[in-house]
Amino acid sequence: MKVKIVNRNEEIEVKQGVKLLDGLAERGYRLMSNCGGMGSCGMCRVKVLEGLKEPKEEYFGPLSEDLKKAGWVLACQLPVEADLVIQLEEKLVERWPGEEVAEVEEPELSRLGKKLRRALPGFNCSGNVCGYPTCFAYAEALARGEASPEGCLPGGEPVRAALKKILEAEAERRQFIGWLLEGIAERVQLDREADRRLYLRTSPQDLKEVAQDLLIGKGGRLATASGVDKPLSNEIELLYHISFDRSGMMVSLRTALPRNEPRSASVASFLPAAEFIEREIRELLGVEFVGHPRPERLIKAEDIPDDVYPLRKDFRIDDIMRRK
Amino acid sequence: MPSKIPIGPYHPLQDEPEHFLLTVEGEQVIDIDVSIGYNHRGIEKLAESKTYDQTVFLVERICGICSTSHPLAFCLAVEDCAGIEVPERANYIRTIIDELQRLHSHLLWAGLAGHFLGYHTVWMWAWKYREPILELFELISGNRNHYGMMRVGGVRRDIPPEHYPAIQKVLDELKPKLEMLYQAVLDDPVLRARLEGVGHLSKEDAIRYGVLGPTARASGVDIDVRRDYPYGASDKVDWEVITSTRGDLLARVEVRLLECFESIKMIEGCLRQMEPGPISADVPKRIAPGEGIGQVEAPRGECFHYVVANGTDKPERLKIRAPTYMNLPSFRATCLGETLSDVAIILAGIDPCYCCTERMVQIKDGRRSSSLRWDDLIKLSWEKTARLKEEVKDGHLRLD
């Protein structure tokens, strides 16, 4: 079917029966839709100039009588059954075809730099005092340890104290990370970090020993584990979230298992706190935990076969229905 | 000769579908097996097909008691992932809602614990004291439960300053009642006999099973998300983490009741300190690829959400872990060696999560006359919210 958009005087091809909102999105016309296509917010409305046959009640949703009379309908509810001529509400179009997302003007700062920047006054002293052209550059230099927190004279004592406090907290954090990686440093990679988060990557072979070191040796608390199915890279990612409560640091230890035969050494074999969650991951994602003390079903409904894993991305409800 | 006693999945005492298989020798419990999953609703899978905004409402429906813990943890996780700064006032409002919820939840539990022990006075009293808090929620959010207050980037509704006196009044009236309840529980020889030394969980076992919240703190494990991973205004107001080293049921009662006083302190601090300002940040509809973790100290312990974003407006993966999930397996440590008659209160001792539905049946002249329909319930609810607001305006709020 052909849909003509009068705003741009352009004609696009949309498959018959497809909802207009989806058809437009496919061609790069992204309309705002707060409710996500439920037909309740009214933001994806378009004016149909020609081609609307037998309008149904659901096409209008929350639209006012005036709008209805003027020919506006909800694009998320209207299936394209004939050629249409439509007009879009310019201010409700989130993105036009070919339009790029506007770039952020602020320079990209490091994690610590961002924190320091927030404490700085932003007077724009143009580097007359601290020697850096902007507060961004000064914050970044502080984060790298190249500048002194005493440099910000315009901010006065409160700003300098705030900078020192942030830098001290960071030093403490570094010390914690140093202690955390003692003895396991060559078996893990620091994947990502935030103020109170640390993501470590390890190999499936090393997982058990590293987890044992963190949980038993260093006294971490197992908050939980989670699995993420990643069909694109053909792997299942397994994460153990280990909390070091007194330091306020959540350490997520992750490893990637091959999707066709996901096997991992069981943490529950030495820590009962992991028993339930490993059983859950086993039945919902199909990861086999070697050495688990009780590899039995825990939460999956009885009518779902053993080898159907609902949390995998390729799971379809028919997988259950077909076998009944 | 050991025999096996199944409890659940549906039985008159524990309202939730959980199955316990007790192995007993005479009166003594020698083994316990826990099965869960009767109520698994696939919310994690469902979240993958909902937008971030919709998911907040979805996860609020996980629990009917700590109904604000899940949306708050989810919002914190998304904010952690996208690096969103929450405005100051929203943080204070989050803590007020969170702590009011803890008050009502702990009182609910205290009542249920009394009920399980056959001590119905405690039950009735605790629930009577809980009622004004639910009415406060109705005043603030329009609902006794499922407040719908949280959104990614802040809160949905402000608490107008003219409501502060009503909140303060409820807290002021609650304090002496809580004090009385606390002393009454400690003084009563029968209650002490049922609670002291029963269902003991050692610190080592508490750590091994990874138990959370009051259950952990009653066994001397000094953890509290509000202090360790501050959220809302929990690092801006004065309060203390309550712990006990005894590890028995009495300690769990004590910890929960004393925590109520700390919650009151926190709410009062928030009311004193919060200033006018925006209640929500601008949040992009699509969240850039990344991952984030949100933790909230729910009344039963740490509520944990892990979100993976993929650049669209829907999460790639949402992992939810409620506190009872970690607390349940500890039954294997607490029930063994105890007598059958104590098992009910030990099972209740971790405060497994219940959901209560109210206002379902209309009673006229002591006889059930008709069932209320959904529309009637909403109408009743609206009328009551309107009445409460009217009373606040006139300055004589009647929260009874």
The yes-or-no verdict on residue A128 having pLDDT over 70 is no
Residues 6+ apart with CB under 8 A from A160: A149, A150, A152
Helices B88-116 + B249-273 axis angle, to 10: 150
Q: What is the pLDDT at residue B378?
A: 61
pLDDT tens-digit readout, B29-70: 888 888 777 777 888 889 999 999 999 999 998 888 888 999
Q: Could you give the percent of chain A with pLDDT greater than 70?
A: 93
Percent residues over pLDDT 90 in chain B: 57
The answer to whether the CB atoms of B306 and A310 lie below 8 A apart is no
Q: Which one, of B390, B370, B380, B397, lies nearest residue B144 by Cα? A: B380
B119: pLDDT strictly greater than 60: yes
Regarding predicted confidence, which is higher, B90 or A54?
B90
Using a CB–CB cutoff of 8 Å, tell me whether B293 touches chain A. yes
Confidence grade of residue B398 (pLDDT, cut at 50, 70, 90): low
Q: Would you place residue A129 in the very low, low, confident or very high pLDDT band (cuts 50, 70, 90)?
A: low
With an 8 Å Cβ cutoff, is A52 touching chain B? no
* ipTM computed for the complex: 0.86
3-state helix, strand, coil in chain A (%, to 5): 35, 25, 45
The pLDDT > 90 percentage for chain A reads 36
Average pLDDT over residues B346-369: 51
Can you give the pLDDT at residue B354? 38
DSSP state, A100? P
Cβ under 8 Å to A: B residues 88-147: none
Whether residue A84 is predicted with pLDDT greater than 60 in this model: the reply is yes
- pLDDT tens for residues A105-125? 566 778 888 888 888 877 656
Calpha distance B215→A31 (Å, rounded): 49
Which of A260-274, B37-51, B327-341, B362-376 bottoms out in mean pLDDT, i.e. has the lowest? Answer: B362-376
8-state DSSP, A71:
T
- Residue A196 is nearest to which of B45, B223, B229, comparing CB atoms? B229
Give the model confidence (pLDDT) of B199-216 as tens digits.
899 999 999 999 999 999
- pLDDT score of B113 more than 80: yes
The Cα–Cα gap between A171 and A166 comes to 9
DSSP string, B131-151: HHHHHHHHHHHS-SS----EE
The predicted pLDDT at position B14 comes to 59
Give yes or no for a contact between A6 and A85, defined as CB atoms under 8 angstroms apart: yes
A284-301 per-position pLDDT tens digit:
999 999 999 988 888 887
Question: Could you give phi then psi for residue B242, rounded to 5 degrees?
Answer: -95, 125
pLDDT value of position A123: 63
User: Per the CB < 8 Å rule, is B321 touching A277?
Assistant: yes
Residues of A in contact with B316 (CB under 8 A): 228
Which residues, in sequence order, are CB contacts of A83 under 8 Å at separation 6+?
A: A1, A2, A3, A4, A50, A51
Nearest to A248 among B36, B44, B229 (CB): B229
Tell me the average pLDDT across B97-104.
96
Q: Is pLDDT at A246 greater than 60 in this prediction?
A: yes
Tell whether the model's pLDDT for residue A66 goes beyond 90.
no
Least Cα distance to B253 among B111, B101, B354 occurs for B111
Quick: pLDDT tens for B165-183.
999 999 999 999 999 999 9
Q: Do A273 and B54 touch (CB under 8 A)?
A: no
Least confident of B14-18, B114-118, B284-288: B14-18
Range picked from A150-154, B261-265, B393-397 for highest mean pLDDT: B261-265
Q: What is the mean pLDDT of chain B?
A: 86
Confidence class for position B373, pLDDT limits 50, 70, 90: low
Question: Are B229 and A277 within 8 A, CB to CB?
Answer: no
How far apart CA A270 and CA A208 sit, in angstroms, is 10
Average pLDDT of the residues in B141-158 = 92
